[in-house]
Amino acid sequence: MTAYDLEPGDQVHAGDPVKVDRYSTGARINHWITATSLVLLALSGLALFHPSLFFLTGLFGGGQWTRAVHPWIGVLLFFSFAGLFIRFWRANLWRSEDGTWLARLRDVLAGNDEKLPEVGKYNAGQKAVFWGMSLLIIILITSGVVIWDEYFSQYTTITQKRVAVLIHALTAVVIICLWIVHVYAAIWVRGTIGAMTRGQVTGGWAWRHHRKWLRELVGGRQNRP
């Protein structure tokens, strides 16, 4: 059995109910720094994206502050997400069951988990969010630096800046939509949010949604070299 689905700290605690450690304290802190940055970036970015949302600059101390602070939060997000990427990329590698899972998206959305293949620590949807976020963040930081005029205006032409600002806006819309999917899935699939707050899920949650991961955790200890 391959164990790359298991991440450091993943552990089963027998009991009633069974508890499973899903995210370490470090991973959770890392996640919430990223999450806070993303929300602040969305709010400050949307303020400059559509005039009807310009009032959001008030949250950041006005337009000048919003303009000044947004790129720095972006830098924070980039490095914070890089930490998440190093933690999670291995368990997010694509596996054969992910195709089957995606093909049964109708059952996923209907909540018919019994009709889905057993999946590891992450299902195909979570993997799509992970890789999507990774790609979009790279596009956003790159295009963002091009339009960070305060420090980098002299390195690109105006035409390049125009392209960058359009790409930045479009990519931001996509990442906000992806963020909505991420947050909605965490709310809809009850028992998920505890994984990122207290670090634990119940055994039943792991059985229902990530049975392969649970089996690996329970059985894998003896099998690992």
Catalytic annotation, residues: 182
Q: How far is the CB of 67 from other proteins (least distance, A)?
A: 5
CB of 83 to other proteins, least distance (A): 27
Q: Please, which residue, 122 or 205, has the CB nearer to other proteins? A: 205
Q: Which is nearer to other proteins, 102 or 174 (CB)?
A: 174
CB of 178 to other proteins, least distance (A): 9
Work out how close the CB of 65 gets to other proteins at its nearest, in angstroms, rounded to a whole number.
9
Instruction: Catalog residues that contact other proteins under the rule CB under 8 A.
Output: 12, 14, 16-18, 47-51, 54, 57, 62-64, 66-68, 109-111, 113, 147, 149-150, 153, 158-159, 161-163, 165-166, 169-170, 172-173, 176-177, 180-181, 184, 187-191, 202-208, 214-215, 218-219
CA–CA dist 91, 110 (Å, integer) = 25
Nearest to 108 by CA among 193, 216, 177, 185: 185
- Give the tokens for residue 158: 């105006």
Residue 54's Cβ-side half-sphere holds a number of Cα atoms within 13 Å equal to: 4
Full 3-state SS string of 112-143: CHHHCCCCCCCCHHHHHHHHHHHHHHHHHHHH
Laid out side by side, the sheet with 19-21 consists of 11-13, 19-21, 200-202
Using CA atoms, how far apart are residues 140 and 167, in angstroms rounded to an integer? 8
Compute the least distance from the CB of residue 143 to other proteins, in Å: 12
Measured CA to CA in angstroms, residue 179 lies from 35, 133, 142, 194 at distances of 9, 8, 20, 18
* Contacts of residue 143, Cβ cutoff 8 Å, sequence gap at least 6: 164, 165, 167, 168, 171
